[in-house]
Amino acid sequence: MIVQIESWGNIPLLHIYNDQTNNHSPIVIFLHGFESAKEHNLHYAYQLVNQGCRVILPDAHLHGDRDEKLDQIEISLRFWETVLTSIEEVGKIKEELMERGFLNDQKIGIGGTSMGGITTLGCLTVYPWINAASIMMGTPSYVQLAKAQIEQIEQKGFQIPLNSKEKDDMFHTLSTFDASIHMEKLSNKPLFFWHGVKDTVVPFESTALFIEAFEKQFGNEYLVFMKEKSAGHAVNRKGMLAATKWLANNLA
């Protein structure tokens, strides 16, 4: 496996492939979680590359090589700035893949853990060129999650630096990328979800309710939902292997 440390525009990333990878190999853009970094998902890349994919692991805004030394509250307040920036940058990565000759007639997939899974769901609402997605611990309900986050921060005694109108404007912006509102944009697209039932960081119930509603409207022909009863906010090896195998198979 070859791991190249690169920067595409202003996006630091790891470009991972092997001797069998060519310019027609399926491509996966894989997104890391909150307060994590690109190199923490190398085990996902290893599995995907060994199953025939080229993998791009970018650092999210304010993370990894783009760290601005914010404390936990400061970076928490900029969570949605990070998510929305990452959605935009996935589009830029796709353009770079084309310009560099890596993207031709093959399929392209996206995946991520936690914040990366949340970002993946937002990408699915705006990029029809995504052929398949693997979502670990991600919720599609942007507005619901944002409201819950604000409530949690305020309960800790911190003041959100937004007035009522600014909050409403933020919720309106997030609704544009909220897959629970725009389910039709995810229909007829292979989707893999993994979520721990005991997850308290990104609540399992939100994902389960979305999938229930999605199946009622669009069926489950292209949908896999892997639930782990004993898991919290951490993907176990079984989930990681299932997610990467499923994604590689659906991009082949």
- Indicate the pTM of the whole model: 0.95
CA 135 to chain centre: 6
Reading the block at residue 188, the tokens are 């007829």
The pLDDT tens digits of the residues spanning 51-108 come to: 999 999 999 999 999 999 888 878 888 999 999 999 999 999 999 999 999 999 999 9
Residue 161: is its pLDDT beyond 90?
no
Looking from the CA of 112 toward its CB, the CA atoms found within 13 Å total 33
Residue 42, domain CATH: 3.40.50.1820
The reported pLDDT for the residue numbered 179 is 95
Determine the Cα–Cα distance for residues 45 and 98; give it in Å rounded to an integer.
Answer: 20
Cβ neighbour number for residue 7 with a 10 Å cutoff? 11
Count of structural domains within the chain: 1
**pLDDT computed for residue 76 by the predictor:** 86
Range(s) of the domain holding residue 100:
2-251
Query: What pLDDT sits at residue 189?
Result: 94
3-state secondary structure of 52: coil
Instruction: Examine the pLDDT at 153 and tell me if it is beyond 90.
Output: no
DSSP 192-251: EEEEETT-TTTTHHHHHHHHHHHHHHH-STTEEEEEETT--SS--HHHHHHHHHHHHHHH
With pLDDT > 90 as the criterion, what percentage of the chain qualifies? 85
